[in-house]
Amino acid sequence: MFHKEGGKIILISTTLTVIFLLLADKFITIEWLRMSVMLLVLFFLIMILQFFRNPKRTVEITDNHIIAPVDGKVVVIEEVFESEYFKDKRLQVSIFMSPINVHVTRYPVNGKVNFSKYHPGKYLVAWHPKASTENERTTIVVENRVFGEILYRQIAGALAKRIVNYAEQGMQVVQGTDAGFIKFGSRVDLFLPIGTQVEVKLNQKAIGGKTIIAIKS
């Protein structure tokens, strides 16, 4: 199943793939070259399709833990000063998504959206230290009855050119449901209350909607 944000791109890519395959078959007379071009075109289409895949996942919905909002690798676990919303120290957990990861963003907790803001910005590589504050990004804060306010930030990477965010201030959201999408490489930062018990380790693979990021200690 594919994410709705990929509908237009998938349609265009499929159409172009068919056109290029027909042109290659008609005009390229050298066998090995024709096959190489066809395989390259098909590979491009497969990459587009896999990028926009949206696997259905059964989520254990509970207020007692925070789940991974995206697929990827845990690249940061540290105490930092969060300067946009909390303006105090928070525990940051960051997940980096490569182009081959599922790029659906899911709500990490149940609760009410208290803050949602889009920031235009640069397109530094997603693991750059300044990506969290200088890249194109969205900041969303969800208030949960157990953890209090949890901030997550969708961050564009060097290839990402559009962040889709469905969270609007005042909404009641359900853990694990579709919160948005980031196109072509990115990262998501979670900012948790100090003292939250983190259940993941650096370089661990996270699965959106499945991996438990933290529990209340």
Residue spans of alpha helices (H) in 28-102: 31-51
Find residue 115's DSSP bridge partners.
141
Do 59 and 91 meet the contact criterion of CB atoms below 8 Å apart? no
The helix or strand, by DSSP H or E, that contains position 159, with its residue range, turns out to be none
Do 94 and 187 meet the contact criterion of CB atoms below 8 Å apart? yes
The pair of structure tokens assigned to 130 is 């300044």
Look at the block and give the residue holding tokens 């050298």.
Answer: 30
Which residue in 13, 94, 132, 186 is the catalytic one? 186
In angstroms, the CA 97 to CA 203 distance is 12
Q: Among candidates 132, 142, 73, 76, which has minimal Cα distance to 106? A: 142
Active site residue 186: yes
Q: Which residues are catalytic?
A: 186
